[in-house]
Amino acid sequence: MSAPEIRCEQGQRQVFCGLSGIVWLHRKIQDAFFLVVGSRTCAHLLQSAAGVMIFAEPRFATAILQERDLAGLADCNQELDRVAAEVLERRPDIKTLFLVGSCPSEVIKLDLGKAAERLSEVYRGRVRVLDYSASGLETAFTQGEDACLQALLPELPTRPAGERSLLIVGTLPDVVEDQFKRLFDELGIGPVEFLPPRHATEYPSVGNGTLMLLAQPFVGETARALQKRGATLLTAPYPFGIEGTRAWLKAATDAWGIPAERLEAVTAPAIARAEKGLARQRELLAGKRICFLPDSQLEIPMARFLQRECGMELVEVATPFLDRQLMEAELPLLPPDLHLTEGQDVDRQLDRVRAARPDLTVCGLGLANPLEAEGLRTKWSIELVFTPVHGFDQAADLAELFARPLVRGALLKV
């Protein structure tokens, strides 16, 4: 199958902040704390994006840089040490402390790497202190996770030469991770490890016998760093929908030499449930026209799922940047005549959306409300990383995320 032509576009971009990755990362790594070194704006963003429950104490906070810090009139490191001490005194259960860079900390050239080294010495034996950048200066908000996982890599032990293992890379909700574990067990594939892990004591080991499957399409730099440590990347579509999940699992069974009959037998019950759940959503989505604006890097696999399994018509699919290595198995599954765009000139793309008037536009938070005001139905792309959407059992839920705004729009017209 031939892949569609890729059009490149440059200009003004509308992107969300990489700090939002903390919202799903802090839920996944259950003994980690994310300390953002930023401004009050950073703190408000996290509180808004996370929808923090009043009676819950989240495992993230913001060390707020004041005007004196930004003007170079105060010792930021001194204040950072004080806040870190308070956090660790209050939360003795924390095993990993992430110092997370933001736009303000990068503007004043605050060296969080040095700060992490210094605090690691202070708290040696009690807590790991790591750093990474999640500023809004990146191309896509999901790059925050990629940077976080790269910060973890030096902590991963080396797997003995010749020992085979499967490493799943990219954050998965616990319920989805458990579903995949059961499937791999039934298929006879193991040991299977996940990055990021649920706890700091469960870091996976990596070596030349490690085979790697990506669960998310935005962890490219992490994948390439793991390849340098000897891991082998298995090429596969991403596990969204029935087709993507089956092909993803098949990449692992092929590597393990497991017969296709075994794969079909193990997955048949889950596929039957997924097809039944998808049938109703397909009735709502089939024939509807959809446009993806670049935001999450999930655009291509989501478009493939909606077009091939839900019968939607793809008007345009745009992604912040296109990693050819990570999309090698996805691109041939798209219609060859698709308008596929890498990058963004936001005004030109909005003009195309207004001219095409699709039934649904998937975009970032900053563009959704203006488009809704113009009578266009939208779906926030950030929901696709906040919600369990991987695997067979979530296929209907994934389709429903796109059907819901269409149903709401129909009700508003009544």
Q: Tokens at residue 144, please?
A: 């925050």
| DSSP-based three-state secondary structure for 216 | coil
| 175 plus 241 within the same structural domain | yes
Domain end position, chosen among 135, 155, 186: 135
Domain count, the chain: 3
Q: Describe the crossing of helices 143-152 and 21-28 by its angle, rounded to 10 degrees.
A: 40
| 308 plus 389 within the same structural domain | yes
Round to whole Å and give the CA distance between 362 and 381: 6
| 91 plus 218 within the same structural domain | no
8 is in an annotated binding site: no
Q: Tokens at residue 301, please?
A: 């696999």
Q: What is the CATH number of the domain that holds 256?
A: 3.40.50.1980
| 403 plus 299 within the same structural domain | yes
CA 368 → CA 17, 39, 289, 298, distances in Å? 16, 25, 17, 17
Contact 257, 408 (CB under 8 A): no
Round to whole Å and give the CA distance between 338 and 335: 5
Contact 410, 360 (CB under 8 A): no
Q: Is the pLDDT of residue 73 over 50?
A: no
| DSSP-based three-state secondary structure for 287 | coil
Q: Please count the CA atoms within 13 angstroms of the CA of 109 that sit on its side-chain side.
A: 2
Domain end position, chosen among 117, 135, 153: 135
Q: What is the pLDDT of residue 327?
A: 96
| DSSP-based three-state secondary structure for 165 | strand
Token pair 């030469």: residue: 161
Q: What is the pLDDT of residue 46?
A: 74
| DSSP-based three-state secondary structure for 172 | coil
Q: How confident is the model at residue 11 (pLDDT cuts 50, 70, 90)?
A: confident
The proportion of the chain whose per-residue pLDDT surpasses 70, expressed as a percent, equals 92
| 177 plus 240 within the same structural domain | yes
Q: How confident is the model at residue 64 (pLDDT cuts 50, 70, 90)?
A: low
Q: What is the pLDDT of residue 58?
A: 67
For residue 260, being part of any structural domain is answered with: yes
Q: What is the pLDDT of residue 65?
A: 62
How many other C-beta atoms are found inside a 10 Å radius of the C-beta of residue 118?
A: 16
For residue 363, being part of any structural domain is answered with: yes
| 219 plus 282 within the same structural domain | no
The proportion of the chain whose per-residue pLDDT surpasses 90, expressed as a percent, equals 65
| 234 plus 344 within the same structural domain | no
For residue 74, being part of any structural domain is answered with: yes
For residue 198, being part of any structural domain is answered with: yes
Q: How confident is the model at residue 2 (pLDDT cuts 50, 70, 90)?
A: confident
For residue 142, being part of any structural domain is answered with: no
310 is in an annotated binding site: no
- Sort strands 360-363 and 289-292 into parallel, antiparallel or unpaired: parallel
Round to whole Å and give the CA distance between 371 and 359: 12
Round to whole Å and give the CA distance between 1 and 326: 17
pTM of the model: 0.92
Average pLDDT over all residues of the chain = 89
Give, in degrees to the nearest 5, the angle at Cα 27 between 24 and 28: 90
| 363 plus 237 within the same structural domain | no
| 195 plus 236 within the same structural domain | yes
Round to whole Å and give the CA distance between 341 and 334: 13
| 234 plus 347 within the same structural domain | no
Q: Is the pLDDT of residue 386 over 90?
A: no
| 346 plus 299 within the same structural domain | yes
| DSSP-based three-state secondary structure for 358 | coil
The region of weakest confidence among 80-84, 174-178, 230-234, 375-379 is: 80-84
Sequence-distant (6+) residues with CB within 8 A of 175 are 388
For residue 145, being part of any structural domain is answered with: no
For residue 57, being part of any structural domain is answered with: yes
For residue 155, being part of any structural domain is answered with: no
What's the average model confidence in pLDDT over 202-210?
A: 95
pLDDT tens readout for residues 283-330: 999 999 999 999 999 999 999 999 999 999 999 999 998 999 999 999
pLDDT tens readout for residues 170-202: 999 999 999 999 999 999 999 999 999 999 888
| 314 plus 248 within the same structural domain | no
363 is in an annotated binding site: no
Q: What is the pLDDT of residue 137?
A: 66
Q: What is the pLDDT of residue 70?
A: 45
What's the average model confidence in pLDDT over 106-118?
A: 84
Q: Is the pLDDT of residue 26 over 80?
A: yes
The whole domain housing 224 covers 165-264
Round to whole Å and give the CA distance between 332 and 345: 25
Q: Residue 334: in which H helix or E strand, if any?
A: none
What's the average model confidence in pLDDT over 253-281?
A: 96
Query: For residue 294, is the peptide bond before it cis, meaning its omega torsion is within 30 degrees of 0?
Result: no
What's the average model confidence in pLDDT over 32-47?
A: 80
Beta strands in 219-267 (DSSP E): 232-233
What's the average model confidence in pLDDT over 31-45?
A: 82
Identify the DSSP state of 293. -
Domain end position, chosen among 264, 288, 314: 264
Token pair 């290595």: residue: 325
Round to whole Å and give the CA distance between 402 and 384: 10
Round to whole Å and give the CA distance between 329 and 362: 22
